[in-house]
């Protein structure tokens, strides 16, 4: 790649000598010297540090306008518009509209320049997304044991005794250190948590079947039901507080003790 200022130097040397001398002096081919001399007026009008003479304008503006509309429509509908898809669509459109697409070949370089001119990228957000199931319940399971092992690991990484290889890479902790992680993590777990875990798995439940329901119980739902039942308002409880003892005895004690119940009338 040669800049415009270099090409002008070669042209000036060729004008004062000849094309062959310029090619030998600057290490370029004679054909390049001839081409540059024929485009001298273009080289003088372009920036000195620029190599190519592309202006960035499209050769087939109508085709590219329809191609941009197609890409936007595809993405609006949530579909991917790949490079091959753009090239195939453009080639098909060019065959149907030859008056606006003379000598169009839908090359890979054209597609790259077209996407750059139109500010198009292959990565895009689509409108179609996987929907979550309606009965999804987000639950977070707090793993006590793994969290405590990770805590021991972090402490060892900060202040533990480590060894390194000849290349400077840190070795993994020794087996006794890992066993110490497990022992400390296990001892930090609450005993009640271990008991409930065994019963939840059906390992140590009572043989009389009284604890079989723990397999399907949810502690959060059980606590919520207990709380809601405690907060429920019973109008009869408040009414009983405002009733005197004599009225309660009159309601509860019947004047006739020996009365047989003969059933309901049908």
Confidence of residue 226 (pLDDT cuts 50, 70, 90): very low
Cα 241–Cα 243–Cα 248 angle in degrees, nearest 5:
115
Span 165-178, average pLDDT: 85
The Cα-based distances of 5 to 26, 43, 44, 55 in angstroms read 13, 8, 9, 18
Residue 12's pLDDT band (cuts 50, 70, 90)? very high
Whether the Cβ atoms of residue 158 and residue 108 lie closer than 8 Å to each other: no
Share of the chain above pLDDT 90, in %: 8
Could you tell me which of 184, 208, 182, 212 has the C-alpha nearest to residue 200?
212
> Which residues does residue 170 pair with via DSSP β-bridges, in sequence order?
164
> Phi/psi of residue 122, each to 5°?
-80, -25
Domain boundaries, the chain: 4-45, 61-117
153 has a pLDDT exceeding 60: yes
């Amino acid at each position: 790649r040669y800049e415009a200022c270099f090409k002008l130097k070669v042209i000036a040397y060729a004008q004062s000598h000849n094309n062959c001398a310029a090619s030998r002096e600057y290490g370029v081919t004679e054909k390049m010297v001839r081409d540059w001399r024929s485009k001298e007026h273009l080289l003088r009008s372009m920036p000195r540090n620029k190599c190519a003479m592309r202006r960035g304008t499209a050769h087939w503006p109508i085709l590219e306008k329809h191609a941009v509309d197609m890409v936007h429509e595809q993405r609006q509908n949530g579909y991917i518009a790949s490079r091959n898809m753009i090239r195939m669509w453009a080639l098909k459109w060019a065959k149907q509209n030859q008056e606006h697409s003379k000598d169009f070949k839908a090359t890979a370089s054209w597609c790259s320049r077209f996407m750059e001119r139109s500010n198009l990228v292959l990565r895009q957000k689509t409108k179609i997304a996987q929907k979550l199931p309606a009965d999804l319940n987000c639950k977070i399971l707090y793993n006590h044991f793994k969290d405590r092992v990770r805590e021991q690991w972090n402490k060892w990484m900060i202040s533990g005794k480590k060894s390194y290889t000849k290349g400077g890479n840190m070795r993994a902790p020794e087996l006794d250190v890992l066993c110490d992680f497990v022992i400390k993590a296990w001892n930090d777990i609450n005993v009640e948590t271990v008991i409930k875990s065994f019963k939840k798995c059906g390992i140590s439940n009572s043989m009389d079947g009284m604890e079989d329901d723990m397999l399907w119980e949810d502690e959060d739902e059980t606590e919520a039901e207990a709380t809601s039942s405690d907060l429920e308002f019973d109008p009869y409880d408040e009414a009983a507080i405002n009733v005197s003892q004599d009225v309660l005895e009159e309601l509860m004690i019947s004047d006739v003790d020996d009365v047989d119940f003969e059933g309901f009338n049908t």
